Amino acid sequence: MALSPLASPGIGSGLDVNAIVEKLMAVERRPLEAIARQQGAFQAKLSAYGVLKGALSALQGALAGLTAGSAFRAMSATLSDEGVASVAAGTGAFAGSHSIEVTSLAQAHRIASGGFASSADAVGSGTLTFRFGTWSGGTFTPNDAAATGTVTIAPGQSSLAGIRDAVNAAKIGVTATIVDDGSAAGKRLVFASSSGAAMSLKVDVADDDGNALDAAGLSQLAYDPAASAGAGRNMTQTVEARNATVIVDGITVTKPTNVVADAIAGVTLTLAKTNAGAPATLAVTPSAGEATAAVEAFVKAYNDVQRTIQGLTKFDPQKKQGSVLTGDPSVRQIQSRLREIVGGGLAATDPSGVASLAQAGIRSAVDGTLTFDAAKFAATLAADAAGVERLFAALGTTDDALVAFAGAGAKTQPGTHAVTVTQLASRGTLAGSAAAGLTITAGVNDALTAVIDGVSVSVVLAAKTYATAAELAAELAGRLNGAQALKDAGSSVSVSESGGVLTVTSNRFGSASAVAFSGSAAATLVGGAPVATTGTDVAGTIGGLAALGSGRTLTGAAGSAVEGLRLTIEGGALGARGSVRVTRGIGALLEPLLAGLLAGDGVFATRAEGTQTSINALDRRKADLEARLERVEAAYLRQYRALDTTIASLSATSTYLTQQLANLPKIRDDD
């Protein structure tokens, strides 16, 4: 604190007022120094809590690679002829050897227009409707799983290039390009679909020139192999739609794309060439690399936590001085709990399986850190991958193949819990009350508003007389599944017909699944009194207690030993469905502990809040004390200035008297 300046301190008195007041204030300021030391200690604690919190957060992140479990099931796949296909083994793959013979590759259907001299040449305006399906002997069978797409070609887009851009912008599963063969009129518009035989194209045209069955205007882009050339068939097939065919272990597998992901469990083949007559060998073997890396990351993060705690709580007996958090009970409790979990056995596991970290090559050192024997870990993983996974993750094993373990919550207790199903999940349907009318007339009965799973979409059906109810069903499914709002919601429908009567079924399970129709096309499609049935959620018990059903998922009751346990009931009979055996590995036990510690209301947040409160209180004390010291300093200055003035006055008087006395006549001895 700076002293208030004096105009002329000590003049006439020789008294150094500044020095005197400064020394007095140094004594007065000693409480401020104590406050500063206290604040420094609290700030050091805040910093220490932050360091420890960061180390625990890193440990939490490292656990994610272990508790997911996939690392322990990792496999690697190799193919003897790498040119045939690239291979990848993922979740669900099993070790083994397979024969792979590719006899054909999938290819996309491509059709080309007649030639044009320039990409700026006008073609025509109107609408193009793209349908997907299978051509066989001139008969088109619609693919009701593929969405029908309609593209409006405005007069300003009627050039070859404009139509190309409009089709690509529509994003309906068709790509358009212009290919130039080099001739005078060699620019041709090419449409391509996705690969697969069931994705062959049929292009219907509504031509603004009023005639969709000639070879002029937009009709030049019509493609219907069942029609006559120049009267509905004006484009030419350049590449036939085809499926991929691969023989796996002597079994022929047909796929619409060259990516074969489900022929062999967990293995994805990306086909590149055929090798008919010369099968390649696919080898699937366990891979310890991912799991080893995940465990190494965990061990490092755990050791960092232990070393951080040791550094923040150690006591130096030579200097008789502790560290920032020496004696902090919360930190010691955290350390003890971590060591207890990591050093403990695995609850509710098979005694003959992997039950401790030591069995997997992870041992505790004297200082509480962990050591990792990668070779022993790899050997244990190869012998019992499921056992090593149980050591870290929360897992459930079910007796019934149609009851799948979907996950566990932080409060799910290990043990064996009985499962009973009293109701299976179902999907919402809308069943027609009469045979569907096959004639759709524009502006009369072509508009439909459908509410699927709570999502409303409006579509317009293609106006025509359909040959069969199956063809109309495919048109309806294609229009609905092509609606963007339905795609965004992740919903879709399937449309079936029996005796001409249509039934629309949502592909979602549960009580949120429902189908409703309105609009001018509704009665034509499903009659005047269709029957709507809302889907149902699965119902049943887990561990003898009623579980919460949502769709096909049963979730254990809150407040019970199975709280948070999730099972997917994929079908099967009603009644007792065996049991689910839950194990909680070390990682699954550490996760809720760390989540609680790092939460907004956890120990670190509480400690930090309390420490900051203490710092704030010291700030207030400091401010109060500084205000008092200013008053004390002012008082000292007044006192010593007054003293200075008095001394100066006395000094002046003394000088005057001395001078006067000196001027008095002297008394001589001879007088």
Mean pLDDT of 123-138: 90
Q: What is the mean pLDDT of the chain?
A: 87
d(C-alpha 498, C-alpha 395), whole Å: 44
pLDDT for residue 611 is more than 80 = no
Helix (H) or strand (E) holding 104: strand 96-104
Asked whether the predicted pLDDT for residue 605 surpasses 80, the reply is: no
Average pLDDT of 136-157?
Answer: 86
% pLDDT > 70, the chain: 95
Task: Encode pLDDT of 336-365 as tens digits.
Answer: 888 888 887 664 444 557 778 888 899 988
The arithmetic mean of pLDDT across residues 378-390, rounded, is 86
User: 194: which 2 tokens?
Assistant: 């996705």
Q: What is the mean pLDDT of residues 174-184?
A: 95
Question: Does position 602 have pLDDT exceeding 80, yes or no?
Answer: no
Residue 431: CB atoms within 10 Å: 18
The whole-angstrom separation of Cα 607 and Cα 603 is: 6
List pLDDT tens digits, range 511-532: 999 999 999 999 999 999 999 9
Report d(CA 211, CA 407) in Å as an integer. Answer: 60
Number of other residues whose CB lies within 10 A of the CB of residue 180? 11
b/e sequence 381-403, b meaning 16+ C-beta within 10 Å: beebbbbbbbbbbbbbebebeeb
CA distance 579 to 405: 11
> Is the per-residue pLDDT at 499 higher than 80?
yes
Taking the C-alpha atoms of residue 515 and residue 61, their distance in angstroms, rounded to an integer, is 43
Of the candidate CATH numbers 1.10.10, 2.60.40, 1.10.3210, 1.10.3470, the domain formed by 108-239 belongs to: 2.60.40
Averaged pLDDT for residues 645-654: 76
The whole-number pLDDT of residue 6 equals 43
Q: Which residues contact 517 (CB under 8 A, 6 or more apart)?
A: 430, 448, 449, 450, 504, 525, 526, 530
Query: What's the rounded Cα separation, in Å, for the pair 80 and 665?
Result: 136
- Range name among 392-401, 410-419, 445-454, 651-660 with the lowest pLDDT average: 651-660
The least confident of 157-166, 244-253, 426-435, 618-627 is 618-627
Which tokens belong to 276?
Answer: 């008919």
Tokens representing residue 657 in the block = 């008297």
Q: pLDDT tens, 224-245?
A: 988 888 888 999 999 999 999 9
* Unique residue bearing structure tokens 């009970």: 329
Checking if the pLDDT of 33 tops 80, the result is no
User: Which pLDDT value is given to residue 94?
Assistant: 86
Split at pLDDT 50, 70, 90, the class of 9 is low
Hey, where are the domains in the chain? 75-105+243-286, 108-239, 396-423+538-584, 427-533
Q: What fold characterizes domain 427-533? A: Alpha-Beta Plaits (3.30.70)
**For the ranges 541-550, 582-591, 635-644, the one whose mean pLDDT is highest:** 541-550
**Span 2-29, average pLDDT:** 65
For 302-313, what is the mean pLDDT? 89
Tell which residue, 140, 139, 201, has the closest CA to residue 172. Answer: 201
Q: What is the pLDDT of residue 111?
A: 96
Backbone phi and psi for residue 596, each to the nearest 5 degrees, phi listed first = -65, -40
The C-alpha atoms of residue 644 and residue 638 are separated, in whole angstroms, by 10
DSSP 535-571: ----EEEETTEEPEEETTEEEPPTTSTTTT-EEEE-S
Q: How confident is the model at residue 455 (pLDDT cuts 50, 70, 90)?
A: very high
Average pLDDT over residues 561-577: 95
Backbone angles phi, psi at 520, to 5 degrees: -65, -25
**671 contacts: CB under 8 Å, gap ≥ 6:** none
Comparing 541 with 657, the larger pLDDT belongs to: 541
Q: Which residue has the higher pLDDT, 614 or 442?
A: 442
CA-to-CA distance for 296 and 299, rounded, in angstroms? 5
The token pair that represents 170 in the structure block: 């529509």
Q: pLDDT at residue 156 above 70?
A: yes
Q: Does residue 68 have a pLDDT over 70?
A: yes
- When mean pLDDT is compared over 50-59, 219-228, 427-436, 473-482, the highest value belongs to 427-436
- pLDDT at residue 3 greater than cutoff 70: no
Name the nearest CA neighbour of 410 among 606, 601, 594, 602.
Answer: 594
CB atoms within 10 A of CB 100: 26
Residues 398, 402, 407, 409, CA torsion sign:
negative
- N-to-C CA span, the chain: 67
Q: What is the pLDDT of residue 349?
A: 45
Order of strands across the sheet that contains 447-452: 455-460, 447-452, 515-518
Among the residue ranges 121-135, 161-175, 474-488, the one predicted with the least confidence is: 474-488
| pLDDT higher than 60, residue 4 | no
Compute the distance between CA of residue 176 and CA of residue 153 in angstroms, rounded to an integer: 14
Residue written as tokens 């140094």? 26
Burial 611-634 (b: 16+ CB within 10 A, else e): beeebeebeebbeebeeebeebbe
Q: Please state the pTM of the whole predicted model.
A: 0.65
For the chain, how many helices (H) and strands (E)?
Answer: 12, 40
| Residue 177 pLDDT > 80 | yes
